[in-house]
Structures are given as structure tokens and as C-alpha cells.
Amino acid sequence: MSTTVTSASRALDPQTMLQAAISEAELGRSEGGIPIGAALFASDGTLLGSGRNRRVQHDDPSVHGETDAFRAAGRQRDYRQTIMVTTLSPCWYCSGLVRQFNIGSVIVGESVTFTGGHEWLRENGVSVTVLRDQHCIDLMTEFIETNPALWNEDIGVSE
Ligand SMILES: [Zn+2]
């Protein structure tokens, strides 16, 4: 048996792919933003684009991790084989993006601190993998405790 592992096959491990999204989330936190990151991969594990929530940085509520990664990936001919990896369960807006463009798979870092539309995606034929990554949980738990008003603004909850 060959011991050679290509970088592409390594990248297909959900936890490995999640690292790209976590790096974005940590970058967002260091910028004073909401620590949610995402990355869009091709079926062979090639990173197409990554991004992070930049509501604060850009004063733009439409820049979520998933939408930022989606835009960074540029135009893709077909999204069915792509994999959207996100540190946090996708909100309805980002779940809509997945449906609109027929993204075939979603990997979620955690859905403990927030649960968006990932069950709805699953019911509609999207392959959904929900991890319970402690690093992702810690990032959000710390953020929500420190910035409850900003978090409520991001998820559209009035105080
Ligand atoms: Zn979102």
C-alpha cells in the first residue's frame, strides 16, 4: 500500500478543510470582527476561496463568512461538486446561498452556539456534516459573552 498522500486528498478530511475556515475566523477576531470563517473547496480538495464575516470591518451586514468565501472563489461553472466549509451553522441567508447555487456539500464546524438552516439543507438533498469542533465552539462562546449586542445584531435579534 502506498504511503503517499497528496495534498488534495488530505484536504478532503473535514477537520483539515475546517482549518481553512478557522484561520479566517481567527483573522476576523483579530480585526475586531465576528469570528466566523468559511471556505469553498472543489471536489478534489482544492481551495477555491475563503472568507470571514466582515460586518464590522466593512460596515456591511451582507458580508458573512460563507458569502465572503463564495465571492472570493469567483465564478464557478458548477457548484454541485463544491464543498462549503463554515465554522458555524449557516444562517438562513447563507443557507439560501447554498440552495441558490446548488452547492452539494456543507461542513459545519459547530451548531452548539447557533443553529441556522443546516437541517433544512439536509432535507433538501445537500450533504451536511456537522462537527462539534471545540475550537469553533470556544471562538463563538467567548465572542457572544463579550459582545452580546453585536451578536444579536448579526443574527437579526432585537434586544
Ligand atoms: Zn450567514
Residues 105-157 pLDDT 10s: 999 999 999 999 999 999 999 999 999 999 999 999 999 999 999 999 999 99
What residue type is 28 in one-letter code?
A: G
Cα of 155 vs centre of ligand 1, distance in Å, is: 8
Q: What is the pLDDT of residue 58?
A: 97
Is 78 a residue whose pLDDT tops 50?
yes
Question: What does the pLDDT average to over 13-20?
Answer: 95
Cα of 61 vs centre of ligand 1, distance in Å, is: 10
Helix (H) or strand (E) holding 91: none
Assigned C-alpha cell, 62 = 451582507
Cα of 48 vs centre of ligand 1, distance in Å, is: 19
Cα of 149 vs centre of ligand 1, distance in Å, is: 17
Q: What does pLDDT average to over the chain? A: 93
- Of 24, 31, 66, 145, catalytic: 66
Using a CB cutoff of 5 Å, list residues around ligand 1, an ion.
Answer: 64, 91, 93-94
Mean pLDDT lowest for which of 12-16, 23-27, 110-114, 117-121? 12-16
Residues of the chain with pLDDT > 90: what percent?
91
* Inter-CA distances, 41 with 29, 53, 103, 132, Å: 23, 18, 10, 20
User: What is the separation, in whole angstroms, between the first and last Cα of the chain?
Assistant: 59
Q: What is the pLDDT of residue 42?
A: 97
CA distance 7 to 13: 11
CA distance 30 to 41: 24
Residue 24 among the catalytic residues: no
Please count the other Cβ atoms lying within 10 Å of the Cβ belonging to residue 149.
Answer: 8
Cα of 90 vs centre of ligand 1, distance in Å, is: 5
Cα of 69 vs centre of ligand 1, distance in Å, is: 11
